[in-house]
Amino acid sequence: MRRCLIDAGPLIALFDRDDACHKAIREFLQTYEGRLMTSWAVITEVLHMLDFNVRVQLDFLEWIRRDALEIAPLTKNHILRIMELSEKYSDVPMDFADATLMVISEIECVKEMITIDSDFHVYRNIRKEMLRNVFEAGKA
C-alpha cells in the first residue's frame, strides 16, 4: 500500500475551516488512496496551532484514533540524526517536526509527502533524495 508523510500545515488546514487551504486539503484527502504517516512532533504542533478551540483539538485526536494516521515510532536513537539534519538545514531553518518527518522518510523509505511548506523542496534524505509533495501535484 502507498504510504505518504503528512506535515502539520495540511492537518491544521483540514481542521481549521478558516485556513486558506482548508477546502483544497479536504478535497485532496477525500480522494487520496494510501496510508498517511506522521510523527508525535507534528501532532503536537497541530494541537498547539488548533488551541483556539478544544473541540477542534478533540476532533483531530478522534480522527487520529479512528486510524486516519499512522504515527511512526521514533526513539532516543534517532536524536543524533535529527540533530544532524537540524544543523545541516539551520539556514532554512528546519524545525523539529520537519526533521522527524525526514528521519521517518529515511527509516521507512517513504518518498512522498503532503505539505504546504516550501522548505521541503530544499531538504534531502540520507540518500540525497527530495520528498515528492503529492499535495502540490494534486493542486495542479
Q: Which of 105, 107, 108 is nearest to 131 (CA)?
A: 105
Q: Which long-range contacts (CB under 8 A, 24 or more apart) does 21-25 make?
A: 21/116, 24/135, 24/139, 25/114, 25/135
Q: Which residues of the chain have pLDDT under 50?
A: 138, 140
State the pTM of this model.
0.93
Cβ(46)–Cβ(60) below 8 Å: yes
- Residue 118's pLDDT is what? 85
The pLDDT of residue 44 is 97
Domain 3-139 in CATH: superfamily? 5'-nuclease (3.40.50.1010)
Angle between the N-to-C axes of helices 40-49 and 8-15, in degrees from 0 to 180, rounded to the nearest 10: 40
Specify the pLDDT at position 139.
53
List the chain domain ranges: 3-139
Q: What is the pLDDT of residue 69?
A: 95
For position 140, what pLDDT does the model report? 41
Angle at 16 between CA 14 and CA 19, to 5 degrees: 90
